[in-house]
Amino acid sequence: MSFIGPNFTESSEVFRNYRLNVTFYNEKDTLIVPGYFAADGDAANTSANSGNIWQVVFTPTKEGVWSYKVSFQYGKDLAASLDPNEGKPLAFDGETGNFEVNGINPNAKGAYAKGKLIYVGQRYLQYTGTGEWLIKAGPGGPENFFGYVDFDSTFNVSGGINDSALGPDGLHKYSPHIQDWKEGDPVWKGDKGKAIVGSINYLAEKGVNSLYLVVNNVNGDGRDCWPWAGYNDRDIYDVSKLAQWNIVFKHMNEKGIQLDFLFWESENTTLLNNGNLGVERKIYYRELLARFGHLPAIRWNISEEPTATPEQILADVDFISRIDPYGHAVGVHCGYTVERRDNEYPPLLGKENFDGAFMQCHENLHDEVKRWLQKSEKSGKKWVVSVDESLPNHPADIEKVRREFWEVVTAGGEGYDVYFGYGTGTCDIANEDFRNRDKKWSQLAIGLDFFNNTELNQLLPYMKNYDDLGTGYILAKPGEMYVMYTTLDKNTIDLTDFTQEFEIDWLDINNESGLLKGSIEKVMGGQIVDLGNAPSTKTDWVVWIHY
C-alpha cells in the first residue's frame, strides 16, 4: 500500500521523527505493520532519494475480510517509540479501508504457496499454510552476499579480510551466474541484478532451500554491505538500495529459498548504542523489519559471533518480537568454541521470545545439537537448533558436508549451512560461483527431498533422537518410523517394544538413486533385528525403517 505524504529527502529527521504504522484487523486478529519512507515509490529503478511516497507491505495471515487504519505521526525520535499515542498526526493519518483476501494460492511461487514460516513451539519451523515442517540446507556464505556491484551506493572499504579475488573494487559480480538468469526474472534499472538473481536460480535448481547472509558488515570482514546511505551514516537509510535488496529477497522466497537474515557480525554487534537498545538501534530494527518482514520465509538472526552480552541480545530479541507482526523466528549465532557456547546460550534458555540456536560448531556436531535441544526442552522452551557454520570446508570436502548434515538432522536439528571458510581456494567473502561446490548442493538436496516426503515430514515434531536403539545415529518416533544414519557394514535396531512388521528402505545419500532395497526388505518387531546388507558397498547410508 502506498500513501502520499509530505515531500522529503533521505535525512536523519525523516527516519527518526516520522512513523507510519498500519493496523490490519479482522474478526479474530489484529496486526500492527510498520511502514517506511519509499522516496518516489520506485526507487529501485530510479535511485531516487527524495519523494512523497510512504509504503507498507502487508502479508495477510488469513483469508476473509480485513480492515485497516493508518497512523502517520511526527515527533522527536518517534520512530523508536512503541507508544501508539505519542506523536502528532499529519497527512494521511486516520485513513481507513477494507479489502477481501482469498486463501493461499497453491500455484504461487515457492514459499508464497506455503504461508508464513514461523516458530510454533517445536524443534522445527513450520509453514502455516501447508503445515510443512522445515529441514533446511544451503550455502552459509558468502556472508557478504549483498556486497554486490549492481546495488546502489555499494562499495568496498579497506581494512577487512583480503578480497582481492573480487577485483580492484572489492565487490561481488557473480558473472558465472549471468547464464542462469531467465527471461521474466527480476532486474532493476534496466538490466541490473541479472547475475545475483541467476545465482539464486542456480541454487534453487540444485534443490537447496536456505541462504545465509549478513546485511551489515561495517568494520567487519567484508566492509561492503550496510543499509545506510554511507559507510559512516548511522540513521540515514538508503531507500533505493533497500528496495533493490527487497527484489532479491523476494526472488529467493519465490524460488523456495528461506533467508537466514543476520543483522550484525562479530565486529559490529555493538555498533549502535554500544549494544544497548537505544534510539538508533530501535530504528535500525524497525527499518529492516518494515521493509523485509513481509517475506514469508525469513528468520532473524541477531548476529554472527555476537559480542553483545546475553542481556543486550535478549533486549534486541524482545524488541524485534514486539514490532514483527508475523512471528518470524528469532535466534542467534555463537562463538566457535564449546566454552563460548556454554557462556553465551544458557542465559537465553527458557526466554519467551528467543526461538533458536543457529550455531557455529566445528566438532562433535551430533552431540552438540542434542545437548542444546535437551537443554532447551528442560528449560520449558524448545529451541530450533541448526549448525550454520562448520570448519574446514574446502570445495572438495563432499563427504564432510554429507556426514555433518546427517549428524545434525538425526540429532533432531533443523539443518546445516555450508560455510565456505578461508584458505579453501574460494574463500567466504570472495566466492563468485556457487558451482564450485556443485556436488555439495546435490548431496544436501538428497536429504531435503527425503524429509519432504509427506509421511515423514508430518511426523517430524514427534520424532526425537534415539541413538541407544541401534548401531547408528537415529531420529525416530518409536513404533512408527526410524531414520538411521550409519557408516557400518552390519546394523541392528531394537524393536523389542513393538510387534508389528516394519519395512526397510535404504536411502543412497552418495548418489541420486533414491530409496533402494537391501538384502532384507521387511522385519518383525518384538526383538533386536538385523537390518541386513545395504544395496551396495558405500561409505555411509541412511536406513529408513517404517511401519
pLDDT per residue as tens digits for the range 98-132: 999 999 999 999 999 999 999 999 999 999 999 99
pLDDT at position 313 = 99
391 pLDDT band, cuts 50/70/90, is confident
Residue identified by cell 557462556 is 343
394 pLDDT band, cuts 50/70/90, is confident
pLDDT beyond 80 at 425? no
Q: What are the contacts of 191-197 at 24+ separation with CB within 8 A? A: 192/150, 192/244, 193/150, 193/244, 193/247, 193/248, 195/148, 195/150, 196/145, 196/148, 196/150, 196/172, 196/248, 197/248, 197/251
Helix (H, G, I), strand (E, B) or coil at 32: strand
205 pLDDT band, cuts 50/70/90, is very high
pLDDT beyond 90 at 351? yes
pLDDT at position 422 = 84
pLDDT at position 249 = 99
Q: Where are the beta strands (DSSP E) in 75-199?
A: 88-89, 96-101, 117-118, 126-127, 136-139
pLDDT beyond 90 at 224? yes
pLDDT beyond 90 at 423? no
pLDDT at position 430 = 94
The predicted-structure confidence for 32-51, as pLDDT tens digits, reads as follows: 999 999 999 999 999 999 99
Query: Which residue, 169, 189, 168, 193, is CA-closest to 180?
Result: 193
Average pLDDT of the segment spanning 70-79 = 99
What percentage of residues in the chain have a pLDDT greater than 70?
Answer: 100
The rounded distance, in Å, linking the Cα atoms of 488 and 530 is 13
pLDDT at position 490 = 96
pLDDT at position 393 = 76
Handedness of CA 72, 329, 213, 280 (dihedral sign): positive
18 pLDDT band, cuts 50/70/90, is very high
The rounded distance, in Å, linking the Cα atoms of 106 and 178 is 29
Average of per-residue pLDDT values in the chain: 97
pLDDT at position 424 = 76
Antiparallel, parallel or unpaired: β 36-37 and 50-55: antiparallel
Asked if the peptide bond before residue 176 counts as cis, ω within 30 degrees of 0, the response is no
pTM exceeds cut of 0.95: yes
397 pLDDT band, cuts 50/70/90, is confident
65 pLDDT band, cuts 50/70/90, is very high
pLDDT at position 198 = 99
Average pLDDT of the segment spanning 386-410 = 92
Helix (H, G, I), strand (E, B) or coil at 203: helix
The rounded distance, in Å, linking the Cα atoms of 154 and 171 is 8
pLDDT at position 321 = 99
Distances (CA, A) of 406 to 14, 397, 400, 443: 49, 15, 10, 11
* Residue 342 Rama label (left phi>0; alpha psi -120 to 50; beta): alpha
Q: What is the dihedral of CA 477, 480, 484, 489, to 10 degrees?
A: 150
Average pLDDT of the segment spanning 162-186 = 96
The rounded distance, in Å, linking the Cα atoms of 131 and 142 is 31
* Residue 256 Rama label (left phi>0; alpha psi -120 to 50; beta): left
Q: How many other C-beta atoms lie within 10 A of the C-beta of residue 14?
A: 21
The rounded distance, in Å, linking the Cα atoms of 173 and 176 is 9
pLDDT at position 274 = 99
Topology at the third CATH level for domain 110-458:
TIM Barrel (3.20.20)
The predicted-structure confidence for 492-544, as pLDDT tens digits, reads as follows: 999 999 999 999 999 999 998 999 999 999 999 999 999 999 999 888 999 99
pLDDT beyond 90 at 194? yes
Top pLDDT among 123 and 393 is at: 123
Q: What architecture is the 2-101 domain classified under in CATH?
A: Sandwich (2.60)
Residue spans of the domains in the chain: they are 2-101, 110-458, 466-546
Distances (CA, A) of 508 to 444, 505, 511, 514, 519: 12, 10, 6, 6, 15
pLDDT at position 395 = 83
**Greatest extent of the chain over all pairs of C-alpha atoms, in Å:** 76
DSSP string for 157-177: -TTSS--GGG-TT--B--GGG
Q: How big is the CA angle at 354 (ends 478 and 24), to the nearest 5 degrees?
A: 105
Average pLDDT of the segment spanning 283-308 = 99
pLDDT at position 414 = 98
Average pLDDT of the segment spanning 331-358 = 98
